[in-house]
Amino acid sequence: MKVLIIAHCGHRRWIDSPVPMNGEQRNLEKNKPCPECLTFAGFVRAAHVMNVIYPEWRKGQALFNTLYEIRPDLANEVQGTYFDPFRVDDRIGPFLTFVMVRW
Ligand SMILES: [Zn+2]
| pLDDT of 94 strictly over 90 | yes
pLDDT digits (tens, 9 = 90+) for 7-62: 878 889 999 989 888 999 988 888 777 878 889 999 999 899 889 989 999 999 99
Please, is 62 exposed, middle or buried when counting C-beta atoms within 10 Å of its C-beta (0-12, 13-18, 19+)?
buried
Q: How far is CA 15 from the centre of its chain?
A: 20
Quick check: 78 and 64 in contact, CB under 8 A? yes
CA of residue 43 to ligand 1 center, whole Å: 8
Cα 46 to averaged position of ligand 1 atoms, centre (Å): 6
- Per-domain residue ranges of the chain: 2-32, 36-102
